[in-house]
Structure 1
Amino acid sequence: MKKPLLLLTLICMVLITKAQNVNINYNKALADSLGADEYGMKPYVLVILKTGTTKIDDKKKLDSIFRGHLNNIVRLAQKGDLIVAGPLKKNDKTYRGIFILNFKTIDEAKPVLNTDPAVSSGVLDFELYQWYGSAALPMYLPFSEKIEKTKP
């Protein structure tokens, strides 16, 4: 009698422990549409933009390059290739900003970066890293549009 009761108790404990790890809010269709794995995560490419080797003294030309850089950011975001972009505060590493690109590999991301006028001109350079983050990250973009009072 003691053995069956002990076995039943152990089975109940295993089931309770397993049930505690299940997310009751899980939405399979949403997870699948975002490319999420079982943890709600997926691979991205993190780009650290840094000061490049090209120095341009002509202010009009430099302004034009950075206008093209901002336009390219918007284009890549609309296309779904760019998930996050933003400048960094001044620092001692010459890091200027970051991108999180919606690609699984660094090799997929490199050609996309060369479409940026600031990168192709050499004004900006970059470092690339594989990054594993929330698959829901792209969902913030539609909300950004609603809180952006002035466009860059």
Structure 2
Amino acid sequence: MKAIVLLCCFFIGRQVLFAQQGNPNYNKALADSLGADKYGMKMYVFVILKTGSNTNTDKTKLDGLFRGHMENITKLASSGKLVVAGPFKKNDRSFRGIFILNVKTTAEALELLDKDPAIKEKVLEAEILEWYGSAALPMYLPFHDKVGEQKP
């Protein structure tokens, strides 16, 4: 009986020891610079852009709003506040695109979104959710500029 208890303690202790091993690739300076927690993750604000209530069909007006929308995306990405953006294909849910914003609060996200002309004029509507993802997500942005032949 004593041997069985000792054997169980050995296996449980071994599992705990291996489960708590550190990451040999861990880079504290990089993790700190990206705001990573101990799992290499952090909070972002995930935005789903949907068709808004503004049904204006004036092509010149809409072109101007979407040009401003694209300029705002470029500005947000350049400032490090936007780490992912892109449109959806046509769908039955009226989803138009997504943003993943590198901000700490939904209030900060709302402040940034209010500067987007297409959102401000209600051509697009933003649904906002807090999202937990890899702190390294923004690191892909410098490479994006190297793979696109043309700018939108």
TM-score (norm 1): 0.89
Residue ranges of structure 1 left out of the alignment (5+ in a row): none
In structure 1, the residue corresponding to 2:108 is in which secondary structure? Answer: helix
Root-mean-square deviation (CA, aligned residues, Å) is 2.0
Distance 1:134 1:145 in 2: 21
Question: What's the % identity of the aligned pairs?
Answer: 59
Distance 1:18 1:52 in 2: 48
How far apart are residue 89 of structure 1 and its match? 1.0
> Cα deviation per residue 1:11-38 (whole Å; 9 max; x = unaligned)?
973675156x311000000000000000
Equivalence for 2:127: 127
Distance 1:15 1:133 in 2: 26
Distance 2:39 2:72 in 1: 32
In structure 2, the residue corresponding to 1:80 is in which secondary structure? Answer: coil
The residue correspondences of 1:26-105 to structure 2 (distance < 5 A) are 26-105=26-105
How far apart are residue 86 of structure 1 and its match? 0.2
How far apart are residue 93 of structure 1 and its match? 1.1
Q: Which amino acid in 2 is paired with 1:142?
A: P
Distance 1:72 1:82 in 2: 10
Residue ranges of structure 2 left out of the alignment (5+ in a row): none
Q: How many residues align?
A: 147
Give the direction of change, closer, same or farther, for the CA distance of 1:146–1:12 in structure 2 (3 Å limit): same
In structure 2, the residue corresponding to 1:86 is in which secondary structure? Answer: strand
Distance 1:48 1:112 in 2: 14
TM-score (norm 2): 0.89
Asked if 2 retains the 8 angstrom alpha-carbon contact of 1:46 and 1:101, the reply is yes
